[in-house]
Amino acid sequence: MTEKNAQGDTLTRSQARNKKSKEFALNNAIYIVFMILVLGITIQEPSFLAWRNLRNIMSMSATRIIIAMGIGGILITGGTDLSAGRQVGLAAVVASSLLQYQDYARRMYPGMSDLPIWLPIVIAIVVCGLIGLINGAIIAYLKVPPFIATLGTQVATYGITSIYFDRPPYGAQPIGGLRKDLTTLGSGYLGLDGTYSIPYIVLIALGIAAIVWLMHNKTRFGKNIYAIGGNSEAAKVSGVPVQKTLLIVYCFAGALYGLAGTLEAARTGGATNNYGNGYELDAIAACVVGGVSTSGGIGTVPGMVIGVLIFSIISYGLTFINMNPYWQQIIKGVIIVSAVALDARKYLTKR
């Protein structure tokens, strides 16, 4: 028995099986390596798969998932965003400074009455959304490469955060004393007891992921994102409003960073101007590991979520078995490079 491949060449059944096996290994190599790592960790420490640990991993992943939802859309258009982490830090500082207890000794605004919890969250989201809008305008209308444009806003955003954070009379002191209604979003859970429960922050992250999935798959705007990433010139000729779409993509991503920063402050119970440092690199790496193409035009929301979970499980698992942090960095680096290399390989194969 014989079969034909995509190029029309005749293959024996054995050759066809070998080809399919190689394609499966190529398309799922990262996941195979991940399962081997988890298996190795579990063999060494069987308690790793306890619900308590899995819940901690989900909580740790929640804000990263929200960030990845923003960066993932940008990557699909063929762009990037190096300012994401610093926007997360700005949002954390802004929201925390407006949601401290009245009697907290180092309250940033001593004379201010308590604000409804939604208002500082909205302010943080709007502030970061405006930064995203600036990113989009620079990239779409001034034609500055995304890497350079977002590198500039990364530096500027960190400066803005530091100026805001280093306010008299206390100066650059960590912002603490956060109100219970805020910290509950980060540490509270849904369930009858603390054993088998789901953190609120995880439910929020999954809700955001569901919204982004609907946007990418069920709206014309989502189709435009993929069209721009596939070929921006062809998309423009086809009537896709490329500049407007890029503007919205970056603005929406900024709003998600604002929400993620607020939730990160709620999860940790405070904030400093260094919050979010490097988060953009983690999110980009997670998206690539989850199947988002560095060439643009390819990527799924479930893949992004899985990519974040892979990195979180690896980080938590390697720490759980007391692996040297430097070796952890080496392993992460190898995974990132391998994912990009496999992505390039798959792209060349399809061509």
pLDDT band at 185; cut points 50, 70, 90 = very high
pLDDT, average across residues 193-217? 90
**What distance in Å separates the CA atoms of residue 67 and residue 287, rounded to the nearest whole number?**
10
Integer CA distances (angstroms), 325 to 65, 77, 123, 334, 343, in order: 23, 34, 37, 14, 27
Amino acid 10: pLDDT: 60
Provide the pLDDT for residue 90: 97
What pLDDT, on the 0 to 100 scale, is given for residue 130? 97
For residue 216, what pLDDT is reported? Answer: 95
The 3-state DSSP class for residue 166 equals coil
Please determine, for residue 6, whether its predicted confidence score (pLDDT) is greater than 60: no
Higher pLDDT, 151 or 16: 151
**For position 344, what pLDDT does the model report?**
65
Residue 336: the pLDDT is 76
**Interatomic CA distance for residues 146 and 208, integer angstroms:** 24
* Local confidence band at 195 (pLDDT 50, 70, 90 cut-offs): low
Is the pLDDT at 294 greater than 90? The verdict is no
Q: Which comes out higher in pLDDT, residue 225 or 342?
A: 225
pLDDT above 60 (res 1): no
Distance of CA 224 to the CA centre of its chain: 21
Looking at residues 95-117, what average pLDDT do you find?
A: 90
What does the pLDDT read at residue 105?
Answer: 84
pLDDT in tens, 316-336: 888 888 888 888 888 878 877
Residue scoring higher pLDDT (218 or 32): 218
pLDDT value at residue 289: 85
Cβ-contact 290, 305 below 8 angstroms: yes
Cβ-contact 176, 108 below 8 angstroms: no
Closest CA to 84 of 176, 143, 146, 142: 146
Q: Residue 256 has what pLDDT?
A: 98
- What per-residue confidence (pLDDT) applies to 346? 62
- Looking at residues 5-15, what average pLDDT do you find? 61
For the CA atoms of 213, 214, 217, 221, the dihedral, rounded to the nearest 10 degrees, stands at -110
Q: 43-99 pLDDT, tens per residue?
A: 888 888 788 888 888 898 999 999 999 999 999 999 999 999 999 999 999 999 999
Q: What share of the chain is helix, strand, coil (3-state, %, to 5)?
A: 70, 5, 25
Comparison of pLDDT for 113 and 14, the residue scoring more? 113
Instruction: Give the pLDDT score at 333.
Output: 82
Q: What is the model's pLDDT at position 21?
A: 72
Lowest mean pLDDT among 18-22, 89-93, 254-258: 18-22
Task: Give the per-residue pLDDT at 334.
Answer: 82
What are the sequence ranges of the domains in the chain? Answer: 61-276
If you average pLDDT over residues 130-142, what whole number do you get?
96
* pLDDT score recorded for residue 29: 67
> Is the bond preceding residue 169 a cis peptide, omega within 30 degrees?
yes
CB 77 within 8 A of CB 249: yes
- Residue 190 pairs with which residues in a beta bridge? 198
Predicted pLDDT at 246: 96
What percent of the chain clears pLDDT 70, i.e. is strictly above it?
89
